[in-house]
Structure 1
Amino acid sequence: EHGGEVVAQGTYEDILKHPDSLTGAYLSGRLKVPVPKQRRKGSGKAIQILGAREHNLKNIDVAIPLGRLVCITGVSGSGKSTLMIEILYKALARELNRAKTKPGDHDAIKGTEYIDKIVNIDQSPIGRTPRSNPGTYTKLFDHIRDLFSDLPESKIRGYDKSRFSFNVKGGRCEACRGHGQLEIEMQFLPDVFVPCDVCHGDRYNRETLQVRFKGESNIADVLDMTIDTAMEVFEAFPAMMRSLKTLQDVGLGYIRIGQPSTTLSGGEAQRIKLSRELSKRSTGSTLYVLDEPSVGLHAADVHKLIEVLQRLVDEGNTVLIIEHNLDIIKVSDYIIDMGPEGGDAGGEVIAVGLPEEICKTPQSSTGEYLKSYLKQNHS
């Protein structure tokens, strides 16, 4: 909706000076992610990983303070993902979420009684078929179907909630089985998708589409709305506004409620997952793990991502991130720096503490780069 135009072009200097270029604004320093005035102290409790020795880890003990934004840093191959995903996530997912995961080699993990669940928010798709979309993933579509089934026209016709689902028989278009498109198999070539010639991409049959909200929008129109538009249309419905507001807060106001998950980028999928977590009632005892969430994101998207992560921590949760992006590293409350190199020369904890303390550690590569970055951009 708001993209598809060339905002600026030219030399590096031209982009820096261009008033409408977000890229130029972040490169020139007109826009920047602020350094927090205060770092969180956390809850005083911690999760301790003892004797971690999977892959290249050198039998290390690591404490992860709870109630803070914690960043695991270090060069590629230093053992960050092994520590966070292979050992911590897989062990806690098995213990707390009853997942059938096999954690990496370690002695013990202490302090698990302080958290109630662990959630891994990655950039994998929110669904593997066009049926999955932001509306279904965030449970927003359940509220929309409830609304349509309560309309007077639905009551007269005897339509219930299932009538407005495109996954079951009844209300969906049977020619395309609610896909909105038909798959044509091509020999020796990739399959081709064409719009359904019966429903023309609306997914529903004619009778279902005759039920309209406020005499204007039918269920297909609602699925085609952007999040920003839906915020205005459904402002009188608190349950729907909660999901819509969190999607807007993570910077996804431009996506459509029924946009197929196969058309979403990795960064968009990750932010939809974050929005679902934000819209849940917080227990304040959840551990979120993210492996390099800034990969492939623009500086403006990284800024939004940081704001969302800070919100999760403000609710009492703990966010643990593996990251190379200095904007995310500088806003963290606590850093665990690994190294000193990759592979066999890695697997050790080089330094732990506040970003300012890491900057003063001479043997930390992260500290060296963070120090010059802060001096250049925030002095």
Structure 2
Amino acid sequence: MPCGHPSRADVREETTMPDHRKLGRELDLFDTDPLMGAGLPYWLPDGAAVRHALEEYIRGAERRAGYRHVYSPVLGKRELYEISGHWSHYSDDMFPPMDLGGEQVVLRPSLCPHHALIYRSRSHSHRELPLRMAELGGMYRSELSGVLGGLTRVRAIQLNDAHIFCTLGQAADEARAALELIRRAYEALGVRPVRYRLSLPGPGGKYVADPGMWQRSCALLTDVLDRSGVAYEAVEGEAAFYGPKIDVQIADSAGRETTLSTVQIDFHQPEQFDLDYIGPDGARHRPVMVHRSIIGSVERAVAHLIEVHCGAFPAWLAPTQLVVLPVSDGQLDQAARLVRRCVDQGLRAELAAPDQGTLAARVRAARLVPYQAVIGAKEAAHDHVAVRLRDGRRLDALPADEVLARIGALVSAHTTELWDGDAAG
């Protein structure tokens, strides 16, 4: 997979790696330790910064789309997953139950049963629907050690998950809106899907035995894809145990295809948990449950972003967004003040002082940072900075306040562009 950034050949040659596992460790984004265990990576400060920026972006996008966020426990009684169907259809991929005070509790393999209980905890009117519930929450899969690798296949997963409780007439529109959220997120991230897949049940799988339910949900998702105008393929054997789904597929640096984002229409769990709402007629009605994940697991999303961008992330996502480089010690105090101003404005900025090497060496060390602000004697005298963009462009000296305002606006817009106008060569 080619790298999206930076465009300069010298940077591309030095940063392109076979896959995210090598590059992610070399860039100090994440690592593993045998004492923590296989499939349980930890995040280093720069990786944590990328993860935090990604999580904040998706939370903001969801809030603007009308979602409300919740938190739910990562444990649940075994009985919960017996009701949802996970225990009978999915227990091979779950961790064993733990005995606790005469009860058995389980690390959850998904968030949907918890969200069903949250919905059920209050009565609901048709006027409240669609009710969009979102969570960036942990879940756990007992993956075999042979399939684990880097961030793409892990045992502890932070999932961008959401469940929309709605009427049957609202379900297709909610699923289409989720596909649009996915499209916009991929644009901000600089990610391109390799295909859309309608994942259907196949022979021999452990699926809920309700042909009518499968027919209804398949028809709805097919209509959603057709109306959305995206090309897709129907593939048997890839459905969830309780229903079909739309999978947005990506490919890694070796060409291996995986699912990043999903949209599902579920009639099964509302029935299992006896969910209802009061309709206009005053009677109880069963809601439809739309599952959707915009960026999938944070781990898999970051793994893909490392490979797509070769570590040169979009400015809004970069661990360090701006590095300040004083030419000599005479500009050191002013450079330190500029870093503090950046941090106060919400930018991730660092100081590369003269004692870290020559200016050329410091510029090269910061080659993956989107913005480099050079301060020489002339710039210091006028509170200006000379900006170098990661792609090699150099801007004329500009007032520091203007530079910070323009960078801040680009970061807030979640764009993949480095600058919002003409720049010097």
TM-score scaled to structure 1, two decimals? 0.25
Flag the structure with more relative contact order, 1 or 2, with Cα contacts below 8 A and sequence separation at least 6: 1
Higher strand proportion, which one? 2
TM-score relative to the length of structure 2: 0.23
